[in-house]
Amino acid sequence: MFTGIVEEIGKILFVTKNRITVEAKTVTEDAKIGDSIAVNGVCLTVTAINSNGFDADVSPETFRVTTLGKLKNGSLVNLERAMPMNGRFGGHIVSGHVDGIGKICLLQKDNEFYNLVIELDEKESKYVVKKGSITINGISLTVAEIDGNIVRVAIIPHTFENTSLKTLKTGDYVNIETDIISKYVEKFLSTRDNSTGISMEFLRENGF
């Protein structure tokens, strides 16, 4: 499990059809083979460690359904180690299992902050709520506005400068993971043995 707090920006050294090699320092300080590291929000297993970084195997399916398939040698990526049991929960619950790919409609500076507007697929946007959490390329962010499948988040300068967001532009694609709690709520409400009387209408009426 992750929290969406990026620890460092890594650089892709090599990409093959089933593996990536990432240049990194911080996330490999105490890493060992078999550990999980989120790369742009995708949970990957470390298969090799060296003085410059680490290797991770990537399945064809993962390359297909995430933006990892668009990586090239030299691409910058957000990195986060799995959260230890005694770690701080700085962001929100992030599984590292990407739901889909979003398209950047706007990335624009607004005074000291940045506005990031992303178009989601409808199957992801239904899990997004205003002031709720969303993970974009592995970064835990708060939804400022949502209009249908268009989501806007406000980026603080620290986040912009210390993640790979600063390398993105309008038209680029990013990995999206929606809040896992909303998926559990949907599953619970859809079960036939839901005898609590709680429904989607009840949740809407009570501000959820």
* Structure confidence by residue, pLDDT tens digits, 102-159: 999 999 999 999 999 999 998 999 999 999 999 999 999 999 999 999 999 999 999 9
Domain ranges of the chain: 8-81, 100-182
3-class SS at 106? strand
Pick the CATH number of 100-182 from 2.60.40.1930, 2.60.40.10, 2.40.30.20, 3.40.50.300: 2.40.30.20
128 neighbors 181 (Cβ within 8 angstroms): no
Pick the CATH number of 8-81 from 3.40.190.290, 1.10.10.10, 3.90.550.10, 2.40.30.20: 2.40.30.20
Q: Round to whole Å and give the CA distance between 54 and 99.
A: 25
The length of the chain, given as a count of residues? 208
Q: Round to whole Å and give the CA distance between 63 and 134.
A: 21
Nearest to 34 by CA among 57, 4, 52: 57
pTM of the model: 0.87
Nearest to 44 by CA among 73, 71, 131: 71
* Structure confidence by residue, pLDDT tens digits, 69-112: 999 999 999 999 999 877 777 889 899 999 999 999 999 999 99
